[in-house]
Structure 1
């Protein structure tokens, strides 16, 4: 997806600032290898900040950004809060602005000290919401959708994608990024995927997952080229993640699952169910491609919460404590 240059956006700022923004966006995409959607999100966050400054101080400039005071940044945060923006979104927005400020400093401009003087809003980390084991298994087979008015190969395709999310812990972008040449079919024990930051990792493939991919390939009516995508849409083009999201929404209704049952919840389920079976945390971190162990450790909190729930439900003293 091509990036929109700053000159094409309704973006306040002089010519020098816009040129700096274009160079920053290009660096995020080319040097840091951020996904186009992430680059666009950072650019939107910066735009919101500049629009705020434009309404209070006039046309933003690089010199104006360098001269900002902490109260200017706090004023932006207060305005966003007043618009109903939550702490998590506000923290991400500041990350985009700070990224641009670092770019300016690397290019020889002074630092935007005001951004470093203001603390990011505190945000509680959300616990992943995994699916129960029976539901996760049901979602990754084509049987539950057999009555739908859909071509059998499409049902097999969706089941194969979902099997990779639950059986291998892939992100949906990683599953849809696989090529036909790298298809994890029976006889293939592992597959290399590229995750965030274009980092490669090797993921083991279970026989049941490999068979799901093989079933899809056997049914697929399109001629898949070795370097082309493994999973294709109805007309043979690139498969949109939204198609898989719609498929899960249909299955969610059939199984009576909450709205939190999404394709990404299958990846959460992969980690949680491994941990429940005494999977080693470092190994799970490598399988998921987490840069930090602290991200993987969120799953230990889920396990602890489940243990406490079982304690409260079953322990005699807990039962008496709950009685009036």
Structure 2
């Protein structure tokens, strides 16, 4: 009789293939993978843990998963080169790993992402019963003293307008979902026609970060762009935008920037979201309301998205006595 191969077509099925094992079988599988430093097996274990035993579960974004997978690969390369015993790492090894990442020239944010991935791998190993080790629990991580809004400031209004002048209807809708609705790229690509309520001038972000839903108001310019797309569709249903991959959406906007002669100003998606936050704060002067608009749980996060003018306090102090 031929062996039955389990279906592994989606993330939940992949997680079930491991999570469905007996405790002892899963423990042995994890111990063997750690002993052999098997990248594929350790990533499968990490993915199963992330998909089945975390709050985000199978709704973890592809971007987050790519970052975790890269981090696991980098850790395993380091562990192999430095003869780590993954299940029983030396007490000082994690600190040396972080130091090596910093010494390689990586930015603090990238180092933090690598450490987060390493922590996820060890949570997965503990979940599988392979070890009690938690080597990255107390490791010191480098801090970036430069504010994010300084390193990657919002797009300028003239750049957004130049892009809109040459963008096709779908590219314009994507750009406006970022710069007027303040959506994350994953949220923008996931918008469905069922989520769009043009008469009420709002759309539903059905699955934001952390699987939190929120309503977002639609600007007149964005409503016009969406009406154009809807008029072109024979029967508007399903996704508003045709692209599912971040890389495809990135390439489309990059080409738009090139077409308007401003390719050097294009910095991906997040600067568009910061543009939306900055524009809204300039009007409402309330970080709490901007946080709700952007889908931030903490107002301190929102402060890193809003660029304040250098003379923001000039008028306020003018009449001091």
**Alignment length, in residue pairs?**
282
Q: How does 1:2-41 map to 2 (within 5 A)?
A: 13-14=35-36, 19=41, 21-30=43-52, 31=54, 32=57, 33-41=59-67
Q: Is 1:294 equivalent to 2:318 in the alignment?
A: no
TM-score using structure 2 length? 0.74
1:152-178 CA-to-partner distances (Å, cap 9, x unmatched) read xx7122112222222211122212211
Q: How does 1:46-85 map to 2 (within 5 A)?
A: 46-57=72-83, 64-85=85-106
Which of 226, 240, 251 is the aligned partner of 1:230? 240
Q: Which residue of 2 aligns with 1:188?
A: 200
Q: Is 1:266 equivalent to 2:265 in the alignment?
A: no
TM-score using structure 1 length? 0.73
Q: Which residue of 2 aligns with 1:132?
A: 156
d(CA) in 1 for partners of 2:41 and 2:264?
A: 46
Q: Is 1:160 equivalent to 2:173 in the alignment?
A: yes
1:196-224 CA-to-partner distances (Å, cap 9, x unmatched) read 2332111112233212111122235xx45
What RMSD over aligned residues (CA atoms) do the two structures have, in Å? Answer: 3.5
1:107-158 CA-to-partner distances (Å, cap 9, x unmatched) read 445432432232111223421512333443443x4xx22xxxxxxxx71221
d(CA) in 1 for partners of 2:275 and 2:51?
A: 31
Q: Which residue of 2 aligns with 1:249?
A: 257
Query: How far has the Cα of 1:105 moved from its partner?
Result: 2.8
Query: How far has the Cα of 1:287 moved from its partner?
Result: 0.8
d(CA) in 2 for partners of 1:155 and 1:287?
A: 26
- Structure 1 residues without counterparts, runs of 5 or longer: 146-153, 316-324
d(CA) in 2 for partners of 1:206 and 1:259?
A: 24
Tell whether the 8 Å contact from 1:70 to 1:118 is kept in structure 2 after alignment: no
Which of 140, 165, 178 is the aligned partner of 1:119? 140
Query: How far has the Cα of 1:14 moved from its partner?
Result: 2.8
Tell whether the 8 Å contact from 2:171 to 2:253 is kept in structure 1 after alignment: no
d(CA) in 2 for partners of 1:204 and 1:68?
A: 51
d(CA) in 2 for partners of 1:307 and 1:230?
A: 38
Give secondary structure in 2 for the equivalent of 1:203: strand
Q: Which residue of 2 aligns with 1:206?
A: 219
The structure-2 alpha-carbon separation of the partners of 1:78 and 1:261, relative to structure 1 and needing over 3 Å to count, comes to closer
Which of 177, 180, 191 is the aligned partner of 2:190? 177
Q: Is 1:284 equivalent to 2:293 in the alignment?
A: no
Query: How far has the Cα of 1:306 moved from its partner?
Result: 5.1
Query: How far has the Cα of 1:260 moved from its partner?
Result: 5.0
The structure-2 alpha-carbon separation of the partners of 1:176 and 1:117, relative to structure 1 and needing over 3 Å to count, comes to closer
